[in-house]
């Protein structure tokens, strides 16, 4: 009888062991349940992120609405406000890029978002303590650093917790919930400002300081809400991710899209300047404190428009396409800047006419904030989604720094009509660029 050689016996044993191992793997693969698909779009993570953003907006939008009046009583000009808002936007922009890279590489998204939300009330405290522009700038930088840290990571968590077919509705709901805080915060801020005025506090700035101190409370609640309600659906680190090579490998169409967003953003001034515009136009007839309160209410009205229209805009974008809807939003943005320039040219002091400008502003911001992120998600791969959101935020923030600073400086050195008119032209150019991307 033939007996295998030692070499043949070793070979046969190795082959048998390999076959057994392959069989085990096949059984494991067949028995493993399929990856769980995201549940309905209105899930715990989407709702939790909405509540958190609502509390966060309640905190820092209170500052946005009273900051122009606070600067006015401190004697700080429009150019400084434009620079403060622009620098804060730039800080937030570069933070978004770094945060996106770190989160994609290490995977600690939820922790970074919590730190981001925690920095907002810290910034509020610094602003409340300010007696001049340096501490105001520091407070705004701290708050906006936190905003930049949390924004792209939170958006990635939301978009990966729903199906691609429902991301428009999820982001629309999130923006609506976010803006509820942006309505209630400024509305309460304006009310508290009037109440604080009646307390006859020493100094014209102290009513503003009191409102700023009270706004810290919802900022703390935002941290608690995110910690307890939101679940990160995809906590997968990518240690091999390289920063610059990842940027270079982003799709060409997405890079063209970022170019269009950046061109539009160079004209997309901070709406703190829009509040200051209303305050300035109304001051001759109402006085500075009353004008600041009315301008704050107009900003509340702008945010109400966002609350009402965010979900319908997202749902409509799911039906007709996200890029075409974003083009419409950009058109409305250029119209907002043009109407503001016209209001200064004609010295408009009519509250209803200013309310119409704030309505158009609310409509374009609704489209912009709800859909820029969803268009990004359509153009890039999932493993670089957060970094792509960071790139989007960096382009937006850098452009808004240029815009806010330019509009503020032109306002102070030449005229507000020229500042807002230039913004309108740049936003129109960005709209045309986005239209070309959509036709690719």
Handedness of CA 374, 376, 380, 381 (dihedral sign): negative
pLDDT in tens, the chain (440 residues): 445 444 444 444 544 444 444 444 443 334 434 434 445 667 788 888 888 888 887 887 777 777 777 877 887 777 777 778 778 777 877 777 777 666 666 666 788 888 888 998 898 889 888 877 888 889 888 888 888 788 777 877 887 777 777 777 777 787 778 777 777 877 777 787 778 777 766 777 788 888 888 888 888 898 898 888 887 766 555 555 555 566 677 788 888 999 999 999 999 988 888 988 998 999 888 887 788 888 888 988 888 888 788 778 888 888 888 889 999 999 999 999 999 999 999 998 899 999 999 999 999 998 988 788 888 888 887 767 767 777 887 788 778 778 877 888 898 888 999 999 999 999 999 999 999 887 77
Domains and CATH numbers, the chain: 42-228+249-439 (1.20.1250.20)
Which phi and psi (to 5°) does residue 291 adopt?
Answer: -65, -40
- pTM surpassing 0.85? no
């Amino acid at each position: 009888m033939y007996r295998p050689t030692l070499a043949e016996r070793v070979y046969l044993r190795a082959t048998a062991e390999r076959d057994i191992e392959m069989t085990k793997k096949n059984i494991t693969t067949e028995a493993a349940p399929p990856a769980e698909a995201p549940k309905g779009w209105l899930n715990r993570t989407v709702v939790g992120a909405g509540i958190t953003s609502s509390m966060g907006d309640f905190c820092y939008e209170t500052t946005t609405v009273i900051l122009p009046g606070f600067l006015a009583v401190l004697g700080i000009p429009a150019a400084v406000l434009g620079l403060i808002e622009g620098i804060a936007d730039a800080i937030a922009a570069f933070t978004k890029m770094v945060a996106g890279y770190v989160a994609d590489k290490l995977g600690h998204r939820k922790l970074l978002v919590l730190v981001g939300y925690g920095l907002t009330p810290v910034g509020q405290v610094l602003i409340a303590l300010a007696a001049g522009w340096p501490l105001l700038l520091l407070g705004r930088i701290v708050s906006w650093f936190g905003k930049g840290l949390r924004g792209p990571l939170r958006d990635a968590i939301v978009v990966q917790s729903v199906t691609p077919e429902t991301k428009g509705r999820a982001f629309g709901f999130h923006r609506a919930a976010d803006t509820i805080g942006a309505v209630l915060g400024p509305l309460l801020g304006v009310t508290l400002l009037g109440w604080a005025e009646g307390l006859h506090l020493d100094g014209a700035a102290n009513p503003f300081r009191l409102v700023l101190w009270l706004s810290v409370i919802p900022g703390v609640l935002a941290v608690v809400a995110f910690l307890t309600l939101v679940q990160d659906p995809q906590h997968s680190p990518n240690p091999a991710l390289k920063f610059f090579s990842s940027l270079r490998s982003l799709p060409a169409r997405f890079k063209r899209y970022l170019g269009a967003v950046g061109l539009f953003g160079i004209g997309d001034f901070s709406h703190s300047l829009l509040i200051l515009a209303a305050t300035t136009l109304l001051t001759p007839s109402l006085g500075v404190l009353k004008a600041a309160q009315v301008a704050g209410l107009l900003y509340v009205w702008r945010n109400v428009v966002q609350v009402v229209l965010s979900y319908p805009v997202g749902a409509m974008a799911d039906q007709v396409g996200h890029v075409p809807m974003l083009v419409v939003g950009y058109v409305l943005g250029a119209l907002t800047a043009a109407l503001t320039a016209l209001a200064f040219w004609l010295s408009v002091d009519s509250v209803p006419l200013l309310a119409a400008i704030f309505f158009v502003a609310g409509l374009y911001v609704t489209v912009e904030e709800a859909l820029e992120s969803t268009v990004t998600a359509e153009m890039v791969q999932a493993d670089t989604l957060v970094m792509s959101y960071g790139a989007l935020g960096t382009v937006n923030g850098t452009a808004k720094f240029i815009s806010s600073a330019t509009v503020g400086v032109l306002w102070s050195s030449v005229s507000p009509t020229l500042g807002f008119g230039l913004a309108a032209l740049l936003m129109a150019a960005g709209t045309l660029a986005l239209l070309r991307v959509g036709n690719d």
